[in-house]
Structure 1
Amino acid sequence: MIIYNVTTNIHESVHDQWMLWMRHKHIPELLATGKFSSARMVKVLVEEEMGGTTYSVQYVTDSKETLEKYYQEDAAAFREEGQRLFGDKMLAFRTELELISDH
């Protein structure tokens, strides 16, 4: 199992709009690609020097190959929409994780 983790710091001025977009549009549309089986959104409990609130969304997929297919077919459009809507009020970085074991 591969986890595609997107960590985002969102500025207070667009926080509520971003949260609605994430929960009701972005995450459902990303899951609708069929490349991810689930998603979990969590709040990062650290205070950032730059301000804002930081969240992590973890999308679960079956393989690195499926994730690569997402990058090739879908990622650009999703990233462009976020950039268009929130611009420099949103700072995101992505991490790929491989599940080793559950306990």
Structure 2
Amino acid sequence: MIVYNVTVTIEENIEDQWVKWMKEEHIPEVMATGYFKENKMFRLISHLKEGEGLTYVVQYFAESKGILNQYITKAAPALQQKTADKFGEKALAFRSLMEQVD
């Protein structure tokens, strides 16, 4: 199992709007691509300091690196652009890949 881990720091004043959009629009669109088996969304609580923004992590689970690479080349650019168009620099993301260790 490969995990596509998206960590997003958002401005506090957009939290409600961003979370609603993620749950109702963005995550369903990502899942509709068919590349992932499941997803999970987390709010980071270990380093919260006033004024530093809020951090969320969304994890998408793919069967293989090959499937994930297909998502990255075929579907991700348009979805990432849609996010950037909606939130701009108020929501900054970085992505990492993790492999499940059995």
- If the length of structure 1 is used for normalisation, what is the TM-score? 0.93
Misfit runs of 4+, over 2 Å:
none
SS of structure 1 residue aligned to 2:101:
coil
CA distance in structure 1 between the partners assigned to 2:76 and 2:87 by the alignment:
17
Per-residue deviation, residues 41-85 of structure 1 (Å, max 9, x unmatched) = 011112257611100001000000000000111010111011000
What does residue range 1-103 of structure 1 map to in structure 2 within 5 Å? 1-45=1-45, 46-47=47-48, 51-101=52-102
Per-residue deviation, residues 5-49 of structure 1 (Å, max 9, x unmatched) = 000011012111111110001001101111000000011112257
CA distance in structure 2 between the partners assigned to 1:86 and 1:79 by the alignment:
11
1:7 is matched by which residue type in structure 2? T
Q: Work out the percentage of aligned pairs sharing the same amino acid.
A: 43
| Count of residues in Structure 1 that have an aligned counterpart in Structure 2 | 101
Give structure 2 stretches of 5+ with no counterpart: none
Q: What RMSD over aligned residues (CA atoms) do the two structures have, in Å?
A: 1.2
